[in-house]
Amino acid sequence: MKFTKMQGLGNDYVYVNGFEEKIENPSKLAVKVSDRHFGIGSDGLILINPSKVADFEMEMYNADGSRGEMCGNGIRCVAKYVYDYGLTDKTQISIETLGGIKYLELTAEEGKVVQVQVDMGKPELRPGKIPVIAEGDTVIDAPIEVEGKEYKMTGVSMGNPHIVIYMDDIDNLEIEKIGPKFENHKRFPNRINTEFVEVLDRNTVKMRVWERGSGETLACGTGACAVAVACILNGLTEDEVTVRLLGGDLFIKWDREKDTVYMTGPAEIVFDGEWKN
């Protein structure tokens, strides 16, 4: 099986061209290839497939083999893959995901994509749609008890489920201890991606993420969008936010008139390879 290892701000996946390769059990393959000792090493697996309703389809799996509806860093890499490897010559493309069809604008230099802007769509705030078990129409600054401690969460779906938790010092957070407690908390029927956030100023925030199905990653695109939406809803930032992640910065804008979120960031190819297993 031919594959390409790609990363967006260090959030790395194994990409397989579904036009050429037929994968029988992608969930099982995701677990194998993601292993950083016995596999290729990645946060998961992404298949790039033909689509009947868009230019391409992105089929995304986490490192534990579970399916993710959307992947912000992954979708920018899919855009780079299809352009750089000649599957399209368009710089405006659409990609079908389980979280809806996304529209992307590619910036290319000397025939290679260097940056991608993604229209990530409308943030979903209704608890039942995220899903979060909660009373009311939204989950904004709402209490949640984890391991005997009360936190305040804001819930947002960007096609996949997120909660945002504000903290003073995320650098010293023992995320591998607390992350799984949020991920598997009984109030999240589909588990949850959790972003831990420090607000730096009205246009800049810093975050770490514990991803559903993959653990701590260096960046999460849908997570950065959820964080920007949460910060704006909580009155902490303006509508344009630079989100500082462990792997680098993402630029997020919530266009309130169109009620859509734009994410801009890089995508890179690490290497091509052949999987023999």
Ligand X SMILES: N[C@@H](CCC[C@H](N)C(=O)O)C(=O)O
Nearer to ligand X, 46 or 106 (CB): 46
Find the binder of ligand X among 34, 62, 97, 154 (CB under 6 A).
62
179 marked as binding residue? no
Give residue for tokens 């099982």: 28
Find the binder of ligand X among 16, 71, 106, 164 (CB under 6 A).
71
72 binds ligand X (CB under 6 A): yes
- In whole angstroms, the minimum distance from the beta carbon of 202 to ligand X comes to 24
What residue number has its CB nearest to ligand X? 68
Active-site annotation holds for 225: no
Phi, psi (rounded to 5 degrees) for 108: -115, 145
184 marked as binding residue? no
117 binds ligand X (CB under 6 A): no
Nearer to ligand X, 220 or 232 (CB): 220
Phi, psi (rounded to 5 degrees) for 35: -55, 125
- In whole angstroms, the minimum distance from the beta carbon of 209 to ligand X comes to 8
Integer Cα distance of 244 and 203 in angstroms: 11
CA 86 from centroid of its chain's CA atoms = 25
DSSP 243-276: EEETTEEEEEEEETTTTEEEEEE--EEEEEEE--
Q: Indicate the burial class of 52 (C-beta count within 10 angstroms; 0-12, 13-18, 19 or more).
A: exposed
34 binds ligand X (CB under 6 A): no
Site string for ligand X, 216-245 (x = CB under 6 A): -x--xxxx----------------------
4 binds ligand X (CB under 6 A): no
Active-site annotation holds for 231: no
Q: Cβ(239)–Cβ(213) under 8 Å?
A: no
68 binds ligand X (CB under 6 A): yes
DSSP 176-197: HHHHHHHHT-TT-TT--EEEEE
Integer Cα distance of 275 and 100 in angstroms: 30
Q: Which residues are annotated as a binding site for substrate?
A: 11, 62, 72-73, 160, 193, 211-212, 221-222
Q: For binding to ligand X (CB under 6 A), which residues are involved?
A: 11, 62, 68, 71-74, 160, 193, 211-214, 217, 220-223
Active site residues: 71, 220
